[in-house]
Amino acid sequence: MYEMALNRFEDLLRWPNGTPNNRRHISIRTISNKDKALIRKRDGSEGEWYHGYRKAFPIDDERETAQDMIRYVNKAEKKIDYDTEGYIVLSLEVGDDKDKEVIGGATVNRITSKDYTLAVFENSFIKNPYRNRGFGKLMKQAKMQLVDKEANSLNSRFVGIVAETEDPKKMSAEDYKNTTMDLSCGGKCSVS
C-alpha cells in the first residue's frame, strides 16, 4: 500500500469557512483488491470512491463503469512486466483509520516497454468542499511518483505524461473546432 502522510499541509484541511478541521491526516493510496468496496460494495451498491467519481463525471459515456474500475484494480495487482499496460486507481482520504472520508481519486494508465514508461492521466476528481486547495496537485505528484517507482523497478525510463481532458479551455484549437461537445454549457452537456 502506498501512503503519503501530508501533515505539513494542515492548511488544506481547513473547512471552507476557515475553521480548522480536526481530521489532520491526509493519505493517498492505491485501491487494492481488499479495498474494492470503495468502488462497489458486496450488495452491488456503489462504494464511496465510485460515488465521488460518478458525480464528477455525470455523463455515462465519459466515465468507466464500476466493473471496469474493479477490473483495473485486479489488473494492477498482477506482476508488473515489460510491454504491459497497467492501471493504478488512487484514493485521496482524510481522517484516521477509524474515520476516513474519500475526498478525491484518480486513475492512471501506465504503458511500459524495456525502453520507456509513459503515464496517461485519465480521471481525477476532488469533492467540492476540498477543491482549489492544492489537493489536485498532490494527486498529480502521487501519480507521477507511483509511475516513476514502477518504471524504476523495471529499469525503464519514465518519459512523460499524457493527460486526457474534457475541458474546452484546455483543448487545442483544432480539437475545439471539431468537438462534438455543446460548449455553451462549459463542456458539461451531453455529447452528441
Tens digit of each residue's pLDDT (9 = 90 or more) over 4-39:
434 334 445 554 555 555 555 788 888 888 989 999
Residue 92's closest CA among 130, 60, 145?
130
Higher per-residue confidence, 101 vs 77: 101
Q: How confident is the model at residue 53 (pLDDT cuts 50, 70, 90)?
A: very high
Amino acid 29: pLDDT: 85
Most confident of 63-67, 108-112, 166-170: 63-67
Among 6-10, 54-58, 174-178, 181-185, which is the least confidently predicted range? 6-10
C-alpha cell at 144: 507521477
Q: How confident is the model at residue 114 (pLDDT cuts 50, 70, 90)?
A: confident
User: What sign does the dihedral 127-132-136-138 (CA atoms) show?
Assistant: negative
Q: Is the pTM of this model over 0.75?
A: no
CATH topology classification for 7-166? Aminopeptidase (3.40.630)
Amino acid 102: pLDDT: 92
What is the SS3 string spanning the chain?
CCCCCCHHHHHHHECCCCCECCCCCEEEEECCHHHHHHCECCCCCECHHHHHHHHHCCCHHHCCCHHHHHHHHHHHCCCCCCCEEEEEEEEEEECCCCCCEEEEEEEEEEEECCCEEEEEEEEEEECHHHCCCCHHHHHHHHHHHHHHHHHHHCCCEEEEEEECCCCHHHCCHHHHHHCCCCHHHCCCCCCC
Domain chopping of the chain, boundaries: 7-166
Amino acid 10: pLDDT: 44
> Is the distance from CB of 13 to CB of 135 less than 8 angstroms?
no
